[in-house]
Amino acid sequence: MLDRKNSTELLIIGGGVIGVSIAYHCAKAGIDVLLLEKGQFGTATTSQTARAFRTYFPKKPHDSELAVRSLPEFNSFAATMNTDLGLKHLGLLTVLTTPEQTAEIEALLPAHREVGADVKLLTPAEAVEYNPWLDADTIEAAVWSPECYRVKPEALVKGYADAATKLGARLLTGTEVTGIDARTGEVTTTAGEFTADSIVIAAGPWGGDVAKLTGMELPVWGQFAELLYTDPLSDRATDTDTPFTFHPVSGLKTMGRGKGFLVGLERISKQEGLRDIWFEAAVEELPKWYPKAAGAKLHSAWTGTLDVTPTKSALIGRGEGEHERILFAAGFTGHGLAHAPIAGRIVRDLHRGVTPEVDLTPFSLATNLAQKPA
């Protein structure tokens, strides 16, 4: 047996918000933890988001459940971690545009309520009260979910990392993993060799590449993503104060940003070279739903990579057979902030052989492998 410097009970690959949450929850449970990050904590994908989390995912009650179970930890973070997350209430408005879409989404609301999501169906007039920039004539209905907040992702990552370190976890940056032997638990890196009882793949868009080092297929890939911002839309002295507003049919997402909007378009695909097509689609979509924003120019606020799976939900679980010591938590499709607290607890329980607090079937490797790629 190697000495403790080179061995550990749990080795985590990836220092984004998912990885550091796992490190914290496992260290808190008394597990010996070593985390390896090839860059710096939270700089690859965590910091490059809309800086918001929500508890309602329209067609996915299982994703809503993860966020609902994570919310108490956000609310208590300042007290337990001595870290201010800068929480600001936004609320989430999901806009529905046809009778068929409304019927489908409304039929799923009881399932979301069952897992704890606070959701309410609105009329077009009520929706416009929440977001006056919308055109009621283009809306069939909407769903209001008050549990949506702006957050500082860098504070969340630092809070978890600092707390994990205080609990005895070892967190190393600038350390790239170059080889993994799933049978022996030996991990080769640019900082030397390590041995672990369990190895956690929490490497975001690179999760699939890390899994290949073990000979395991993990269907996670990097998807180009971009956030845009508009020119100022009003001469009013006050900022554009609107909730996070989501149009599921087109994938258009907006929220107030100064005197304009922050704009995103959720288009998930494996096709290469989509940026120009995607940008033009965003330019066309915005005035459809925001006529007063017609002619507003869009500028790039951020470009980066999301970790995506075939189901567009996370991959969380344990390998089988010779990969039994491999755990994974990746592919959160831009929702890692909302799901980080519960992801840390789930991996903790999987490592300890304890049944997790949620059903992992929707997030399993089998479910994702059975799903045709997007």
Q: Indicate the length of the chain as a whole number.
A: 374
pLDDT over 70 at 117, yes or no: yes
Q: Whole-model pTM?
A: 0.91
Which stretch of 24-28, 70-74, 214-218, 268-272 has the lowest confidence by average pLDDT? 268-272
Q: Is 132 helix (H, G, I), strand (E, B) or coil?
A: coil
Beta strand spans in 161-209 (E): 170-172, 177-181, 186-189, 192-201
Q: Is 153 helix (H, G, I), strand (E, B) or coil?
A: helix
Cβ–Cβ < 8 Å for 292, 133? yes
pLDDT tens-place string over residues 287-323: 889 888 888 888 887 777 889 999 999 999 999 999 9
- Rg from Cα positions in the chain: 21
pLDDT over 80 at 24, yes or no: yes
Q: Using CA atoms, how far apart are residues 253 and 163, in angstroms rounded to an integer?
A: 33
Q: Using CA atoms, how far apart are residues 224 and 144, in angstroms rounded to an integer?
A: 29
pLDDT over 90 at 52, yes or no: no
Instruction: Output DSSP code: residue 222.
Output: E
Which stretch of 147-151, 164-168, 219-223 has the lowest confidence by average pLDDT? 219-223
